[in-house]
Amino acid sequence: MRFRFLVLAAILAAPTVASAEMSVTFDWGKIPRCTTGRPNVVDSPQFVLKDVPEGTTHLLFRMIDRDDTWADHGQKKLKLNATGDVTIPAGSFKYLSPCPKGAIHTYEWHVTAFKGMKPVITAWRQGNYPN
C-alpha cells in the first residue's frame, strides 16, 4: 500500500509538459449552393491544420451532417509529407457536398492523423450550410 502511495505521489509531483492539440479550420469555398437534399460531387475545401504531430504519414478526412447522421458524404485518406502547420489546398479530393433539404444544417469535418495504420489524434470543426 505504501508503495502505491509513493508511486502516485511521484506521478503527481512530476512536471507536466503542455502538448499541442491538432486543430483544423476550413472554408466552404466556391461549392454550388445546394438545398435539394441531393448532394453534388464537389472539390474539397481548403483546410488549415495546426500542430500536425511529427511522424504523421497520412490524414483521413470525413464530413458528418450533425442534423442527419445517416447522410454519408464519404471520406478520403491523403498521404502527408509534412508536420506542424499544414495547408491542404482546395480541390485535393472530391466529396459529396453539404445539401440539406430546405433547412440550415450543421456539418462537421473530422481530420484524423495516422502514423502508419495507427490513428494518433482527431481534430474537428463545425460549419453551418447554407450559411
Q: What domains sit in the chain, N to C, each tagged with a CATH number? A: 23-32+40-129 (3.90.280.10)
Q: What is the pLDDT of residues 23-63, one digit of tens each?
A: 999 999 889 999 999 999 999 999 999 999 999 999 999 99
Q: Can you read off the three cell numbers belonging to residue 23?
A: 486543430
Rounded to 5°, angle at Cα 52 from 51 and 57: 165
pLDDT exceeds 60 at position 17? no
pLDDT exceeds 50 at position 70? yes
Task: Give the pLDDT mean for 83-98.
Answer: 96
